[in-house]
Chains A and B, each alone.
Chain A
């Protein structure tokens, strides 16, 4: 008998991911799936997929899932969670979805203290539409709509979403993590799991911002992209817990 040393999480379907080589989405999906399985809530979970690269996430998570309009996932999650308060509801959103078109929905879901979990993937770019500038694109970063590099004078400074969300009185748990190496992936898993634990314990709104890469959009190799997270993203987006009003889970 062969030893099983590694197994794909039962929290994911067998549908092959549609993500580009080196993209962080796969890793983040895995962390969510593992958390739901470990907490034994997979069968009563409902995932809300955004518009963006992860639009097909409803095909990947092995639980009930629904695809929402661009930016509206927190409103959709609100509708579901309020009529199914005993179920586990989470949104999976990118930076265009959450930090640009969906700012009203995310802020007010937190403002109401909705008891669901938000996984916010910040890779500083619109991936699916071809690498346009996001609110989280770094200064001087070149994208297809900031071809000379993002200029502060006309587009402002990158939006610090976790810092902003932590100011909302009814938000319970806000943490920023990264998935660029094993140590950080382990920490990201802990944060994601904790967010779900808080939801299970009815502690209210939780959001984990995951700093991620987009090798294709950033126009670099996956290895360089991971290095760029450490060298350029994290210095601007410091990792850590921005708010924890939940006590011990």
Chain B
């Protein structure tokens, strides 16, 4: 049976169904439905809910619960994610599995609560100190929010790594029907857990510290072997580019849905374009750009940012195609016609007039806020 639910609620309930027994959060818009939901549902489900003193507190509680072997999660939004970076670096350094959700807003600083995708660098480059990555999943539908939570917990346990789910406030707040299927759980032993069971095994110690260069280097090399394996096996991407398409448009998360509308609009006038939608932002599905149909001669990247993922596309494309960019920031969400116009412009065709927006203020900000190269 399908249930109409918000992205934030799908993330919450899926986590409980996936066996998350410890949730630590802190209020910040637009993810508040998650800690609210968890505060009501975790205890009855036999789990732990704490509204921490800060995002720093929350991520360190995750560190503790993960170390004790629990499936654990924290959620936040952009400025709160900035505070969590210390903890994420430690989690990676100590090889501890957990799921971290960023229902992103726009920045920098306090920014605004409207949707944004300008945390891409923070998410995919490792926002804390040191050499590390976290797998990053970017759902574009509420159903995908649900499904990717199960997957994320499995990936976290399998590779002993924090996993991030990155979405924007639009997807967190919107409702769609969800098939609330409980996916089978990957059960992974955690013999390393510091859970106070030293009576039945040698004592365990968890740390990210080593004062000896060679030892720490070896730990990092070991971790990067795991990253290599993740990069080899865990890439996820949706690709609708087919023979005859002249433009491949790259977008992720909820904004990719707007690109779908733009592609439909273009089709009506005989312009063929396809969508490449990375579902994993790290590892990045770069290989997809090596095998595009020969009809493609332009790549357009569309983001709710000044241009962040576009750098990964350029790296992947490596000069093979011209890479164009269209972005809006500050919480302004592009409309399909804006993307369609960018494609028309790239192809040297006349653009269509964009009717003034409902919010006239937004329209006057266009020129200042529009990213592009």
Contacts and interface: CB of A to CB of B under 8 A. Distances in A.
Interface string A71-107: 0100111111111100111000000000000001101
Nearest to B48: A82
A45 interface: yes
Contacts of B68: 46, 79-80, 83-84
A46 B205 contact: no
B199 A44 contact: yes
B64 A67 contact: no
Contacts, number: 143
A55 B208 CA distance: 11
Contacts of B87: 69, 72
A78 B206 CA distance: 16
B95 to A, nearest CB: 12
Interface string A201-230: 000000000000000000000000000000
A105 B60 contact: yes
A62 B203 contact: yes
B343 interface: no
Nearest to A87: B196
B196 A75 contact: no
Interface string A28-65: 00000000000000111110110000011011001111
A68 interface: yes
Contact of B56 (A44, A58, A89, A104): A104
B282 interface: no
B197 interface: yes
A108 B52 contact: yes
B67 interface: yes
A81 B21 CA distance: 13
Given A88-B196, A105-B53, A83 B205 contact: no
Nearest to B71: A83
A14 to B, nearest CB: 12
A59 B48 contact: no
A66 interface: yes
Interface string B239-260: 0000000000000000000000
B24 A79 contact: yes
Contacts of A81: 64
Interface string B44-59: 0000101011101110
B207 interface: yes
A55 B203 CA distance: 18
A76 B64 contact: yes
A112 interface: yes
Interface string A114-136: 00000000000000000000000
Contacts of B209: 55-56, 67
B306 interface: no
Nearest to A107: B53
A64 B196 contact: yes
Contacts of B62: 79
Contacts of B207: 49, 58, 66-67
A123 B83 CA distance: 29
B72 interface: yes
Given A72-B87, A79-B22, A66 B60 contact: no
A48 B60 CA distance: 12
Interface string B320-342: 00000000000000000000000
B227 interface: no
A83 B68 CA distance: 7
Nearest first, the 9 closest Cβ-Cβ pairs linking A and B are A79-B64, A87-B196, A75-B60, A108-B53, A79-B61, A67-B207, A43-B199, A79-B65, A76-B64
Given A42-B198, A46-B196, A66-B94, 7 more contacts: A44-B197, A72-B57, A79-B62, A80-B67, A80-B68, A108-B53, A112-B50
17 contacts: A44-B199, A64-B203, A64-B205, A66-B63, A66-B206, A68-B60, A68-B63, A68-B90, A75-B60, A76-B64, A78-B64, A80-B64, A81-B64, A82-B65, A83-B48, A89-B196, A105-B57
Interface of B: 21-22, 24, 48, 50, 52-54, 56-58, 60-70, 72, 86-87, 90, 94, 194-199, 203-209
Interface of A: 42-46, 48-49, 55-56, 58-59, 62-69, 72, 75-84, 87-89, 104-105, 107-108, 111-112
